Amino acid sequence: MSNQENQLREKKIPSKSSISMSHASKYSDGANLSPVESVPKRRIQPIAQLLLFVHAGGRCEFDGCNKYLLQHHLTLTEGNFAQVAHIVAFRPKGPRGKGPSRPKNINDISNLMLLCPGCHKLVDDNPSNYTRGTLGEYKRRHEDRIRHVTGLGPDLRTTVVQLKANIGGHPVDIPVSQVVEAVAPRYPTDLRGFVIDLTAIHGDDQAFLKTATQNIPRHIERLYAPGMDVERTRHISLFALAPIPLLVFLGRQLSNKIPVELYQRHRDAGDWTWKVSGEPVEYEFRRLRSGTDQSKVALILSLSGTVHVEDLAGEFGDAFSVYEITLRGTAPNPTFLRTKEDLRLFKHTYQVCLREIMRNHGKLKAIHLFPAIPAPVAVLCGHELLPKVDPTLIVYDYDKRKGGFKFTLEVN
């Protein structure tokens, strides 16, 4: 026996071989020791990041955000402004980290979301509001929509047309992001679109209208010119904000040979996307008064607000027959127009109205129009006129300063 072994025995220090045997004995005896676990790496594989960016379309996946994350929102400088977020946190003590079924691969793409920094902080600071199930549903809906939109064929292209005029003395801009969202599942071939900009026209009401009605036909002629975008898309998405008589005039200038889809700016959300839920409104067409002169007809449109017969100018006395289109079962209000179906139903009622008036009054030269209507309805009133068939619309506008309607322009 060596001196070293004697010394170890005297000090009762186990040798290296006995240590190994001792540990092996403990494991074989089933001692209560923590099992060895592999700690996952925080680094996410490049292929998983690439797939996540593709599935998300480079946009924030938080419900309703949709911010484009590969371009700075202000300077438009290109770059990666996204954050890859875990739905179930990387560590068990993190947001949504505790649970009976943590993913085996915490960095799997199914557990990852693409978020902007603000939404990332929001969901991690409020995990009880943004649960694993909630975020998973956000991710699923967003990625399904991106897959659908990116799979659209060329037949769903559209030419975006904007009519811009000063409202209350100030121009109203329409964000490109709202246009893209509103026209989906169609997509614009040009994000800026075809713009009819009337904001530089100054002067009083009549001077403005005179110049505007001279400019609009020139713009529309160029819109439909050979080689322009409309020739390829064969579809127009129209976003228009201007005085109501001018919108009626615009509608009449647009061709009936190429479909025109109209959009409404919604006051509640401030966007242009048609709602998809809720019951459609119902319209009512009626004759309010029979006049003594068959050639004199006035049509009231009480939709955004109520127009009373007594609001008409003094010359519209007993000689005039007065008709009205209004809402059935609800009072006229500025937010009634919510869905595409609401607009389609008005179009049908308006067509019935024109035919009924023509049956009752023969070949009329003109209908005096007193509108309280939203922008898409105004455009539709002009667009639905049949040339050489329907009478001229003599359009009046409400003058807030004088407190009554005044003649503005003639259409058709």
Please list, in sequence order, all residues whose beta carbon lies within 8 angstroms of the beta carbon of residue 83, skipping any fewer than 6 positions away: 114, 115, 116, 117, 120
Is 295 in the same domain as 390?
yes
Is 128 in the same domain as 161?
no
Q: What sign for the dihedral angle of Cα 11, 13, 16, 18?
A: positive
Q: DSSP states of 135-165 as a string? A: HHHHHHHHHHHHHHHHT--GGGEEEEEEEE-
Helix, strand and coil in the chain, % to nearest 5: 35, 20, 45
pLDDT of residue 191: 79
Domain contains 121 = yes
End residue of a domain, out of 151, 168, 200 = 151
Q: Where are the alpha helices (DSSP H) in 187-233?
A: 205-223, 229-233
Question: Which residues are bridge partners to 397 per DSSP?
Answer: 406
Domain contains 69 = yes
In angstroms, the CA 237 to CA 54 distance is: 28
Span 64-77, mean pLDDT?
A: 93
Per-chain mean pLDDT for the chain: 88
Span 387-400, mean pLDDT?
A: 91
Residue of 129, 130, 50, 55 whose CA lies nearest to 86: 130
Question: Which residues are bridge partners to 335 per DSSP?
Answer: none
In angstroms, the CA 412 to CA 408 distance is: 14
Which domain does 186 fall in, by range?
154-263
**Number of domains the chain contains:** 3
**Is it the case that residue 35 has pLDDT exceeding 80?**
no
pLDDT of residue 149: 79
Please list, in sequence order, all residues whose beta carbon lies within 8 angstroms of the beta carbon of residue 320, skipping any fewer than 6 positions away: 289, 291, 293, 296, 297, 298, 312, 368
End residue of a domain, out of 90, 123, 151 = 151
Is 163 in the same domain as 254?
yes
Domain contains 14 = no
156: left (phi > 0), else alpha (psi -120 to 50), else beta? alpha
- pLDDT classification of 2: cutoffs 50, 70, 90: very low
pLDDT of residue 73: 87
Residue of 305, 307, 306, 383 whose CA lies nearest to 343: 383
Is 367 in the same domain as 400?
yes
Domain contains 8 = no
Pick the range with the lowest mean pLDDT from 16-30, 79-93, 195-209, 385-399: 16-30
* Structure tokens, 161: 């047309």
Is 395 in the same domain as 289?
yes
- One-letter amino acid of 313: A
Residue in the block written with tokens 């998973």: 136
Is 113 in the same domain as 220?
no
pLDDT of residue 6: 46
User: DSSP letter at 270?
Assistant: S
- One-letter amino acid of 169: G
Is 74 in the same domain as 119?
yes
Is 327 in the same domain as 405?
yes
**Is it the case that residue 141 has pLDDT exceeding 90?**
yes
Domain contains 12 = no
Compute CA 240 distance to the chain's CA centroid, rounded to the nearest angstrom. Answer: 15
What CATH number is attached to the domain comprising 167? 3.40.50
Domain contains 101 = yes
Is 198 in the same domain as 232?
yes
**Is it the case that residue 8 has pLDDT exceeding 70?**
no
**Is it the case that residue 40 has pLDDT exceeding 80?**
no
Domain contains 129 = yes
Contact indicator for 57, 140 with CB cutoff of 8 Å? no
Domain contains 79 = yes
**Is it the case that residue 314 has pLDDT exceeding 80?**
no
Please list, in sequence order, all residues whose beta carbon lies within 8 angstroms of the beta carbon of residue 73, skipping any fewer than 6 positions away: 67
In angstroms, the CA 65 to CA 139 distance is: 12
Is 403 in the same domain as 380?
yes
pLDDT of residue 138: 96
In angstroms, the CA 107 to CA 229 distance is: 45
Please list, in sequence order, all residues whose beta carbon lies within 8 angstroms of the beta carbon of residue 152, skipping any fewer than 6 positions away: 185, 186, 187
Is 354 in the same domain as 310?
yes
More confident call, 320 vs 22: 320
Please list, in sequence order, all residues whose beta carbon lies within 8 angstroms of the beta carbon of residue 229, skipping any fewer than 6 positions away: 159, 189, 190, 194
Residue of 336, 185, 192, 197 whose CA lies nearest to 264: 336
Report phi then psi at 374, rounded to 5.
-80, 170
**Is it the case that residue 90 has pLDDT exceeding 80?**
yes
192-243: pLDDT as tens digits: 899 999 999 877 788 889 999 999 999 999 999 999 999 999 999 999 999 9
Is 320 in the same domain as 347?
yes
pLDDT of residue 14: 43
Pick the range with the lowest mean pLDDT from 71-75, 99-103, 272-276, 289-293: 99-103
In angstroms, the CA 129 to CA 183 distance is: 31
Q: What b/e readout covers 150-173, taking b as 16+ CB neighbours within 10 angstroms?
A: eeeeeeebbbbbbbbbbeeeeeee
More confident call, 168 vs 318: 318
Q: What sign for the dihedral angle of Cα 174, 178, 180, 183?
A: negative
End residue of a domain, out of 203, 233, 263 = 263
pLDDT of residue 1: 47
**Is it the case that residue 330 has pLDDT exceeding 90?**
yes
- pLDDT classification of 41: cutoffs 50, 70, 90: low
Contact indicator for 194, 223 with CB cutoff of 8 Å? yes
Please list, in sequence order, all residues whose beta carbon lies within 8 angstroms of the beta carbon of residue 189, skipping any fewer than 6 positions away: 157, 158, 159, 229, 232, 233
